[in-house]
Chain A
């Protein structure tokens, strides 16, 4: 598909997601209390959207990933939260 066709197919969906994301940040700003590491991780990942290389999705995922290489000693629990806490855990 060419760019015009992709815009016809996906622009409204991307627009809606962008506004949702903006509203989410507004909601956080209006709320009280401290944010945990996830907000900082999201802000860092957002920078990837300004990159002019077509690997933004990959780089956002890498930005939110655990960068270490060795297996950990013990499981801290069952679930994942979507961002690596680093030293903040």
Chain B
């Protein structure tokens, strides 16, 4: 089995997880910038975090011959503080030059506030200005449906955005169709309780019959499984999916999307 893990917060994981992922067939890992579980005290905290994502973490992954890529932004939870968000937005262009940066992400909304939306729009404009791929986080639980609609509207309002260069992550049964119908890529996150189980993820893949879907684990500092993608591949095998179909979903699809960035190269 081979697969690409397109969304994992490895800074929150132990090194053993890298070893387990590579053993399971992981060919590359991609790490979007996200909330640390607490609010940073200032822009310097983000400078250090972006340095970690673009310098230290790739070296840690390289010890296991695993290519590491990342996405940069200020997450939606901290975007409520628009002054801080503006400062963070101002340092992102400096880091876009780093060789493992794939684009802007994971941007989006959390509680669907005006401030969050304002900073989301600025991120989208920044991505458009620098011709970057976009990775979008959709809100959790009761806020997801409304937030996904607001995010789709914000993306459609920026004429420079090409939907095929945007992945909208954490879709569930009530949001996946509107994302795909808009021409965007959809990410299904395999995460206990708050997102999708392997069985539900496969249901969505079977029902949508779309080629622009990827699976990811989004493992972080919460209870989460860094091997959720290969575990779901095993579930697909039990459901009678062919090895070729499984390979396409967990390797071919993320490769197709990510290869739109010239930085994403696998040896």
Contacts and interface: CB of A to CB of B under 8 A. Distances in A.
Contacts of B142: 64-66, 80-84
Given A62-B145, A65-B144, A74-B80, 7 more contacts: A1-B240, A9-B239, A55-B173, A61-B173, A66-B142, A67-B145, A78-B110
Contacts of B35: 78
B117 A66 contact: no
Contacts of B111: 72, 75-78, 80
10 contacts: A58-B174, A59-B174, A66-B142, A71-B112, A75-B80, A75-B115, A78-B77, A78-B110, A81-B142, A82-B142
Contacts of B140: 79-80
A71 B150 contact: yes
Contacts of B112: 66, 71-72
A71 B121 CA distance: 13
B114 A73 contact: yes
Contacts of A84: 142
Contact of A66 (B115, B116, B146): B146
Contact of B203 (A57, A71, A74, A81): A57
A48 to B, nearest CB: 11
Interface residues of B, number: 31
**Helix, strand, loop or mixed for chain B's interface?**
helix
A68 interface: yes
Contacts of A77: 111
A48 B239 CA distance: 26
Interface of A: 1, 5, 9-10, 13, 55, 57-59, 61-62, 64-69, 71-84
B103 to A, nearest CB: 24
Interface of B: 35, 77, 80, 110-117, 139-146, 149-150, 172-174, 194, 199-200, 203, 238-240
B113 A58 contact: no
B145 A61 contact: yes
A72 B110 contact: no
A76 B35 CA distance: 17
Contacts of B238: 9
B174 A65 contact: yes
Contact of A80 (B116, B143, B150, B200): B143
A68 B173 CA distance: 19
B77 A81 contact: no
Nearest to A61: B174
A66 B115 CA distance: 18
